[in-house]
Structure 1
Amino acid sequence: MEMQTGLPPASPAGVRPREPYDPARHTLAEREAVKATEAGQPTSAVTVKRMRLRYRSEGLWAWSTTGPLARRPPKVGSTTRWSRRSRL
């Protein structure tokens, strides 16, 4: 979220964006590069961009890349079909 607006989540009103995330001064590509350096593990700006786009399209599930949450729940239609078959 900070990459998009320049502000961290739940910031109080009147707070100015941190300098590297200020949308008035830096392009989205520049802000993605900064986020890549802050990630805490080796990653690229391309990876940050891909994750940001997945988050926009899929929500929080997109951020889970390992562990039990990495498995996304089935789509509603496939669950309905599965439950119908199990009753037959």
Structure 2
Amino acid sequence: MDTLQVGQFGLVLQQAKAPLIVPLLKFLVVVCLGMSVMLFVEKVYMGIMIIFIKLFRRRPVKYWKWEAIKDDVELGNSAYPMVLVQIPMYNER
């Protein structure tokens, strides 16, 4: 009885291969090709931008002021930025 069930399973698998598995695999191949093209376009774009930056010697614009915070007795600690500190648990290193 076991060999009959295995044979029937193989027959069902072969019959399901053409209408189900093959189109699914073709779709997945197309998706992978699309992602590969996206990676290629990104690499080319980044290469062009790096060449542009090197040729024209462009530097990033500074948006932040890197000046010392002035001491103000009235403000106390509120003049300094708030910082979140994570305390490690016993199993973290």
Q: Output the TM-score relative to the length of structure 1.
A: 0.26
More helix per residue: 1 or 2? 2
Structure of higher CA gyration radius: 2
TM-score (norm 2): 0.25
